[in-house]
Amino acid sequence: MNKASSKIDNEKTFIKSCCIGENKYNVFFTNLANPLKVKILLYLRIKDMNVTELGKALKVEQSKISHALTSMKNCKIVLSKQKGKERIYSLNKETILPMLNLIDKHASINCKNKCFCNKEK
């Protein structure tokens, strides 16, 4: 195999691995780009909750909460445990909580006076 052929093979491997990685990033960040899912994360950051509690706190239908949690559970953003007949959801404290703390730190340093939040009336 000559150098040119080897370089092309390496580039193909790199591009293929980037596409696989890119898809993982898309799936992961799509979960964090959804306003409902972000609200769920913020509540679970405070305490573990079931679907009913989240629905009442967020004033959102339980089916929408369940759908959002399933998507986040597939990426292990949230974890669940069975407690009797109910399922209790928690934030992944090993990976997601430190990431949220890092985002908070970054935003407090770099996003000052740049908030374009919608003001609720």
7: in domain: no
Question: What CATH number should be reported for the domain holding residue 54?
Answer: 1.10.10.10
Confidence of residue 120 (pLDDT cuts 50, 70, 90): very low
Residue 24 φ then ψ, to 5° = -60, -40
Domain count, the chain: 1
Q: Residue 4: is its pLDDT beyond 60?
A: no
What SS3 state is found at 65? helix
Q: Is the four-CA dihedral 75, 39, 106, 46 of positive or negative sign?
A: negative
95: in domain: yes
13: in domain: no
Domain range for 38: 34-110
Q: Which of 116, 99, 84, 106 is nearest to 32 (CA)?
A: 99
Q: Residue 112: is its pLDDT beyond 80?
A: no
98: in domain: yes
120: in domain: no
Is the model's pTM score more than 0.75? no
Q: Residue 51: is its pLDDT beyond 60?
A: yes
For the chain, give the mean pLDDT.
84
